[in-house]
Structure 1
């Protein structure tokens, strides 16, 4: 499944242009931003965010402002990490973003998004056990055991 990114290169530039130029300028041409590195950092941020959003249907139809802000902090971290130039502030913002994502995952923070469909409960409880007609044999499993 391909998910849209939660922030863009333009979002990064609008948030902190001097930082972007510090961590994303091309080595051989410092007057040009490394768009490949920026796209990779944004993709890494999106994948990291998605790893905490399993209770939502992905990809999201719209990006809540909270996720945009978190994606920017995460992308800044991944850009700075390329050259081991993660400052205390960048590290703190990354840690705060991860903490917020953990809160979202645990349901302590609400994004106002619909949750992923869950299987309906049965009358006998949350899980339904289906009995096999005979125990599985090793040969039936293709030598998996």
Structure 2
């Protein structure tokens, strides 16, 4: 089940584009399998960017992620039949840029992020320079 975008979101955004990309010519109906695949691809792509910074699945979906998911889903629907236009490709790459900015922390979603583990002394390695031994058997001859 899609998390960031629904079929209704695609209909609300651009019903004509959805019908152009997802109509099954044999039945003149929207092909829900193709739509679900595009929605899943959009979710997976978004998760691949957000997974290192946020606990997934997100408790709430910010509007920017919904908008980004709509763009990505339309791109993958168009890609299925090689119908990707220059404008759609431009929007897709802008959506990826948005995801990269969110993942790198340049943009905020207002959601809690994964806490980075604090540095502790456990597991650290200290490098020690090897010096010549001060006391050896030869230098202590006669003392011991």
* TM-score, normalising length: structure 1: 0.81
Q: Which has the larger radius of gyration?
A: 2
Partner of 1:77: 75
Say which of 55, 58, 83 aligns to 2:53.
55
1:128 aligns with 2:123: yes
User: Unaligned regions of 5+ residues in structure 1, if any?
Assistant: 131-145
Say which of 31, 41, 44 aligns to 2:41.
44
Which region of structure 1 is more displaced relative to structure 2, 109-118 or 74-83?
Answer: 109-118
Post-superposition shift, 1:119?
Answer: 1.8
In the TM superposition, structure 1's runs of 4+ consecutive aligned residues that sit over 3 Å from their partners are none
* TM-score, normalising length: structure 2: 0.81
Q: Is the 8 A contact 2:2 2:39 kept in 1?
A: no
User: Unaligned regions of 5+ residues in structure 2, if any?
Assistant: 126-144
Give the CA RMSD over aligned residues: 1.8
